Amino acid sequence: MNIRDIAAAANVSVSTVSKVLNQKDHDISEATRERVLAVIKEYNYTPYSNIKETQTGKSFMIALVIHPSLMKRELITTLEQNLSASGYSLLLCTLDASDYSLERQLNVLRSKRVEGIIFHAVDERYIESFNKGNSSGIPSVFLYEKPIANQVCIRYDYSSIAYTAVRLLINHGHTRIGCVLDAASDNSTSAGNGYLRALFESSLSRDESLIISCKSDAHNTHAAFEQLFEQDITALYCQNAVLAASAYTFLHEMNLSIPDEVSIVCGETNELAQILYPPVTSVELPYDTLGKVATKSILDMVETHAVRPKSLSIEPVIHKGDSLALPSACRTKIAVIGNMTMDIIISTKKIPSPGELIVSNNIFSTPGGKGINQAIGAGKLGGFVYAIGRLGDDAEGHTISDTLSTYNIKTDGIYIDGSTSTGKAFIAVPDGNNSCVISYPGANSFFDVEQLNKCTHLLTNTDYCLISTELAPEVVAYAIKRCQKLNVKIFLKPSTTGKIEQTLLRKIDYLVPNEAELAVLAGGNDTIQEKAERLYHMCQNTIIVTLGARGCYLKNSEYSHFFRAAPFTPVDTTGAANCFISALAVSLGEGNDLPYSICFATYAAGLSVTQQGTQLSFPSRAQLDIYQDDIHAMYVECGL
């Protein structure tokens, strides 16, 4: 733009513009002067800019022209860092959300002598205006949803975010999926299209009542979620983190747990999404990748002066959280009947000898007992779990109950006894060795057949029941008989305190003793294989002997096989066996065969020993899924 263009835009003569520029405007009215200055500022006019533009010096400046609705910190940060590493600076220029004319912005960029432009537009009107105004041919890279003819374009498809998220929910067995869109977002239509495309490709019928577009304030979102949950949905796709946070709040108010009763996938990953609990599973465009590809593309054009029209595609990525699970009707249903205690864990250099005083370097309390540990172990891996047991009406009992609720464990089967205290276990954990335990049963001593009989409805339609023999023998016997009658598969973790009647042993599907417990059950001083063989002939079902750092041994009618341990350095082995049993039940419930399920459980138990405590060290499904390749390799290695 030259001085004649400024004069025409201000509707004055060229001499008037010259006088204003040179501050010789004493004979010009204030209104005219202000009008001329406004035009000069609007178009960022610099005298002799046409001469400056012919200079050969480089500015080493790249501009990002972006619509305000598309601002993403990750994109801008990546562009700035990558350009800086190549010796360039980033100039940020935002578009006017209400004006498609880009003449002012382009004049600014020309005056700054930018060497290249990364143009991030929200629709084709901005692109048309840009192409018309970029008469000087500044090298440009476009970030847009569709290919642009004769241009370098990095494609990102907003509809693919919703599409990927909804396909993820469908792949987990959900068919009634609500879609919550942000009415104020320019991308809500694309998100809705992605949702519908995922349904169509999965042969699921389109139901308009499951699609809600609302503003992000509390009143509107609450009403939207109320409307959706009248439609018997099992999962939600939320377009952004604000809507996901509102969904979390609504579900908490409705006493609906995530992901046990409702799964959620969010179409955005930001600071808000990252503080949601349980951690939300999200799908988003990889803005850091978008920034890296854009930087390379624009610098190739600027430094080689070669413009080769091309279209590159950036696909969305999935960030796994703990908000996604199978619908409750499809998930493995597990009942856990066992003792419940508050564990006092004492770290020591060694186990004291009689009369010896040992100083502990660390001591802490955490909910424990086989009933608690097995329930949480299964729950964290995606099982639908009912805990059945007895607690005292005291601080420890309430802490345990709250902890179970935190992990979405159903507590309908827990009786709170006001006449006694919660059980306790004092666990000494010496450096590098297996732990030893002193137990005070407390309320567990009063867990009787009458209480269990009131809970048998929880066993109906249950896949597996995990039973601990630390309860009273008559309770264990009753639990085994009820499970057998209801066709519930039984896992039993024995103890060293006594034997089990042989008639009961034959009713157990999976007997999981450790080496000491195997010796009590089978007797003798012979090898593990021989003891397991003898015990197998007594019960005629599956025996899995846990061997700590040596792995485990499987014996049944089909297999006699040692499985190695997972390659993790042990810190605290307290809950490893319980974690193993929980993971084994979950994997079998998902239809995996026994050898694979043992490999799956071995890695779960291996992860559990890498830090102190029990529940906190038990892996979530997302954490265990990281080792899928290792689990599969172990499965192939065993050759079964």
Mean pLDDT of residues grouped by 10 in the chain (640 residues)? 80 84 80 83 63 56 81 84 84 72 74 83 76 77 79 82 90 88 85 91 85 80 86 90 90 87 89 86 86 86 71 82 82 90 88 86 87 92 91 94 84 92 88 76 94 91 91 93 95 80 90 92 90 91 95 95 95 88 94 96 95 81 90 93
95/122 Cα distance (integer angstroms) = 10
Contact 471, 464 (CB under 8 A): no
- Residue 623 phi/psi, 5-degree rounding, is -70, -40
pLDDT at 307: 64
579/381 Cα distance (integer angstroms) = 10
> What 3-state DSSP class applies to 203?
coil
pLDDT at 53: 46
pLDDT at 47: 67
pLDDT at 366: 86
**Per-residue exposure over 439-456, b if at least 16 CB sit within 10 Å of its own CB, e if not:** bebbbbeebeeebbeebb
Contact 95, 66 (CB under 8 A): yes
pLDDT at 547: 95
558/598 Cα distance (integer angstroms) = 14
Domains and CATH numbers, the chain: 3-146 (3.40.50.2300), 333-638 (3.40.1190.20)
pLDDT at 299: 85
Q: DSSP letter string over 475-499?
A: HHHHHHHHHHHTT-EEEEE--TT--
